[in-house]
Amino acid sequence: MAEPFGLASGTLALATLAFQSSVSLYETVNSFHPHPKRVRALLGELEALSTALASLVDRVKSTSDVGHSVLDLPLLRCDNACKKFRQEVTQCTSRLNSNRASFRDWATLTYMGDKIDDFCDLLAGYKATINTALTDATLRQSTVTVESTGKYEDLIHDAKDDLGAQISAARMGNQPVIELLQAEVDENDQSFFRVLVDGLSIKYITVEPDIYSTEDMCFGPSLVSVLPTFPIGDWNDGLVAKNPNDGKPFFARVCLAPFPGVQNTWHEIYVDYLDLSIGRKLRTGIYEAKSSLSDDIIVVKFARFPWEVQYIENETTAYQWISGHNIGPQFLGHLTENGRVIGFLMERITDARHASAEDIEVCREVLSRLHNLGVRHGDTNRFNFLIRDSKATLIDFDTAQKCDDRDSLLQESEELSACLKDMSGRGGGGLL
Ligand SMILES: *[C@@H]1O[C@H](CO)[C@@H](O)[C@H](O)[C@H]1NC(C)=O
């Protein structure tokens, strides 16, 4: 089955190799008996991965499109990971020198217990990456405008499952694992990235214009593959520029910057970003998340970049004003990153919809509760009222201000009806 070595540089060859490795690992694991739960999970994951790889092979064969090259690195790693894992299973089996085959199999799989779980996560990551590429085959062709960056952020987010994959793959090769968390990409100006290194530290990277293509910067795995090697050391702020000597991108500067944090930390609970499991993106800088605070899914809102901290500061204070007044979602605590407060956690309002004109009564009610506290909301578009069980919850307080001018409050209240009728979509972008 040996492939001519030279072929391996093409995506088709890489996909084929990865496919073969995944099938051969499946066969090895499948030959073990019995199949405890985690082994069944592994077999299931391997089957799904092989299926994704087979579709990819078909797709690459049927198109002459060169756009799949973003997958080359993940494919190479996937192939390696399957081979190494298979090697490990076989070695482990032969070390356990027993005549009773079933005992040997059982002992091997028990010994490899946690590794099997990790490996399943790894496979799920590769599968997600491949499926993301398959569902958006146009990715590499499209011209990305700054306005549409949100879409790519979602994509980046969907590929987040790849993290486990990258961590394990990198552990094998000693590379730092870089996961793109948030991006603010500008075609003609500096671009900004928030990245997680080795699952442990968050760094902010500024990239000078005219170094990478917008599409490379918008897709996590491709950005990670083009960034220069990360300098080691305790830094959180880095600048990528063109090296004047050879024209190649390099880290022109890294430093440990004293980034600002929210000062008004009125709530007693603090949760660190790295202790959260971040889920679906709702709006820019707003995500569903799981934390150890509760079994329920919660919502986190945070400054993606240091210059957004001021907005979060104001909103944190607004939540302090309305706390206990049945106006907004419950504020659950402050969100920290490396000791500084960058955001907050709040209750997720489930099964809600956005307000429309007929909800005027309940919306006016909640707005008047806010006005009674002498606070003007400042952005009463219909997407900022969540309706559930004929009750309205106000959200998005980053423009809220203390206001002792009765007329100004009255005006906001009078304009409400027109705001709810405005179906232009302004202010929209998902619940919360
Ligand atoms: C925060 O609130 C202060 C005081 O109301 C206001 O002057 C400032 O412009 C607000 N900052 C932002 C970024 O909205």
Label each residue of 8-51 as H, E or C.
Answer: HHCHHHHHHHHHHHHHHHHHHHHCCCCCCHHHHHHHHHHHHHHH
Atom of ligand 1 nearest to the CA of 310: 13
Q: Which of 307, 310, 315, 379 to mutate to test the pocket of ligand 1 (most atoms within 8 A of CB)?
A: 310
Atom 5 (ligand 1): residue with closest C-alpha? 401
Instruction: Compute the distance between CA of residue 275 and CA of residue 96 in angstroms, rounded to an integer.
Output: 38
Q: Is the pTM of this model over 0.85?
A: no
Pocket of ligand 1 contains residue 317 by CB under 6 Å: no
CB atoms within 10 A of CB 241: 17
SS3 347: strand
Q: How far is CA 65 from the centre of its chain?
A: 28
Instruction: Compute the distance between CA of residue 89 and CA of residue 28 in angstroms, rounded to an integer.
Output: 8
Reported as type and span, the H/E element at residue 244 is: none
Atom of ligand 1 nearest to the CA of 401: 5
Pocket of ligand 1 contains residue 314 by CB under 6 Å: yes
Atom 13 (ligand 1): residue with closest C-alpha? 311
Pocket of ligand 1 contains residue 311 by CB under 6 Å: yes
Instruction: Compute the distance between CA of residue 243 and CA of residue 252 in angstroms, rounded to an integer.
Output: 8
Q: Which one, of 367, 374, 381, lies nearest residue 321 by Cα? A: 374
SS3 323: coil
Instruction: Compute the distance between CA of residue 49 and CA of residue 19 in angstroms, rounded to an integer.
Output: 8
Q: Which one, of 91, 166, 72, 97, lies nearest residue 125 by Cα? A: 166
Q: In what order do the strands lie in the sheet with 277-283?
A: 270-272, 331-337, 340-347, 294-302, 286-291, 277-283
Instruction: Compute the distance between CA of residue 300 and CA of residue 312 in angstroms, rounded to an integer.
Output: 11
| Amino acid identity at 316 | T
Pocket of ligand 1 contains residue 321 by CB under 6 Å: no
Atom of ligand 1 nearest to the CA of 314: 1
Atom of ligand 1 nearest to the CA of 311: 13
Reading the block at residue 95, the tokens are 């070390």
Instruction: Give the pLDDT of the chain (432 residues) as one tens digit per residue.
Output: 333 333 334 788 888 899 999 999 998 888 876 677 778 888 899 999 999 999 888 887 776 554 556 777 888 889 988 988 888 777 766 655 444 455 455 556 655 666 777 788 888 888 888 887 777 654 443 333 333 334 434 443 444 444 444 444 444 455 678 888 999 988 889 999 999 988 889 999 999 999 998 878 877 778 888 899 999 888 999 999 999 999 899 999 999 999 999 999 999 999 999 999 888 888 889 999 998 888 899 999 999 999 999 999 999 999 999 999 999 999 999 999 999 999 999 999 988 999 988 999 999 999 999 999 999 999 999 899 999 998 999 999 999 999 999 999 999 999 998 888 877 666 655 444
Domains and CATH numbers, the chain: 2-172 (no CATH), 178-255 (no CATH), 270-347 (3.30.200.20), 353-421 (1.10.510.10)
How close is the Cα of 173 to the center of ligand 1, in Å?
A: 48
Atom 2 (ligand 1): residue with closest C-alpha? 314
pLDDT of residue 405: 93
Instruction: Compute the distance between CA of residue 31 and CA of residue 65 in angstroms, rounded to an integer.
Output: 38
Long-range contacts of 142-149 (CB under 8 A, 24+ apart): 142/215, 143/214, 144/185, 144/187, 144/214, 144/215, 144/218, 145/187, 146/185, 146/186, 146/187, 149/183, 149/184, 149/185, 149/218
Instruction: Compute the distance between CA of residue 375 and CA of residue 397 in angstroms, rounded to an integer.
Output: 10
Q: What are phi and psi of 264, to 5 degrees?
A: -80, 80
